[in-house]
Amino acid sequence: MNTARQPIGVFDSGIGGLTVVKALAEELPGESIVYFGDTARVPYGTKSKTTIVKFSLENVEFLLRHGVKCIVIACNTASSWALPTLRKYFKVPIVGVIRPGALAAVRQTRSRRVGVIGTNATINSQAYETAIHRIDPRIKVFSQSCPLFVPLVEEGWLHGAISREIAEKYLAPLKKQRIDTLILGCTHYPLLAETIRQVLGPGVALVDSAQQTAAEVRGLLTGIEALAHERLHPRYRFFVTDEPTQFNRIGSQFLGRVLGPVERVNGQTH
């Protein structure tokens, strides 16, 4: 089989990874994509490392059955905890979202004061701090977990008093630290960007790792000579473990266009 024609596999705990799919579609318009959202078991951010690794292994196995040529972990939590294990077990190239996000933040910051928001698991892993300090050890990193942001986005509550109030509470410690750059360390968070900007003000740059991740995938596929020609007609397939209707409704906001059919797979057998 011609590797260039094989799809890119993307997985996330739920809907948020569609922000990465959107960036991939813009950066690599000829690529077909198979997306797997583990919506029955979302969120991953409150679960143990062992559970996150187990779920991630199952997700990769599912995508490999669809003949993918590389895999993007669109979930920050899974990228934080499962990436080394996945690379050990599978030959397929695997890209996470942590390193690209860290790289974008290092390029962006002027004051060398960077904030990171994410799920409990991502923040506890200190994956962003580690990645940033590998690039520039002089940068001060301030982290804050925001566990209620994911359910807010999954419910479609992106604006209004409730999301604003929760954002105010979570972001207050980071405002005190006078950060000039904030990493949105969860793929759901870009949909709350407007609310986050209102709270932090125009002086803080927001970093969404999706675009940097897409650029990394381009480099990877070019290196292994597996880049799809732009004249190919790409196909997008979406699989979830629960509630395809809800996924389809909110997912179109993430992707910026209609998703089309969303297929449900059994969480026990995927």
pLDDT tens by residue, 226-266: 999 776 689 999 999 998 998 998 888 788 888 989 999 97
The amino acid occupying position 49 is: K
- Checking if the pLDDT of 67 tops 70, the result is yes
Structural domain includes residue 115: yes
Q: For the domain that residue 246 is a member of, what is the CATH number?
A: 3.40.50.1860
Residues that are catalytic: 75, 186
Is the separation of the CB atoms in 170 and 117 below 8 Å?
yes
Nearest in space to 177 (alpha carbons), one of 149, 157, 209, 200: 200
Is the separation of the CB atoms in 74 and 12 below 8 Å?
yes
| Domain span at 81 | 3-96+211-264
Cα angle 216-219-222, degrees, rounded to a multiple of 5: 150
- How are beta strands 113-118 and 94-95 bridged, if at all? unpaired
**Does 219 lie in the same domain as 181?**
no
- 117-128 in b/e burial notation, b at 16+ Cβ within 10 A? bbbebbbbbebb
pLDDT tens by residue, 133-175: 999 999 999 999 999 998 898 788 888 999 999 999 999 999 9
Kindly give the interhelix angle for 127-135 and 76-89, rounded to the nearest 10 degrees: 80
* Percent with pLDDT over 70 in the chain: 97
- Checking if the pLDDT of 132 tops 70, the result is yes
**Does 215 lie in the same domain as 203?**
no
Is the separation of the CB atoms in 128 and 117 below 8 Å?
no
**Does 81 lie in the same domain as 114?**
no
**Does 21 lie in the same domain as 89?**
yes
Least confident of 38-52, 79-93, 175-189, 218-232: 218-232
Residue in the structure block whose two tokens are 């060398």: 112
- Checking if the pLDDT of 270 tops 70, the result is no
- Checking if the pLDDT of 269 tops 80, the result is no
Structural domain includes residue 50: yes
Q: What is the pTM of this model?
A: 0.90
* Predicted local confidence at residue 82, as pLDDT: 97
How many domains would you assign to the chain? Answer: 2
Structural domain includes residue 10: yes
**Does 111 lie in the same domain as 71?**
no
The amino acid occupying position 116 is: V
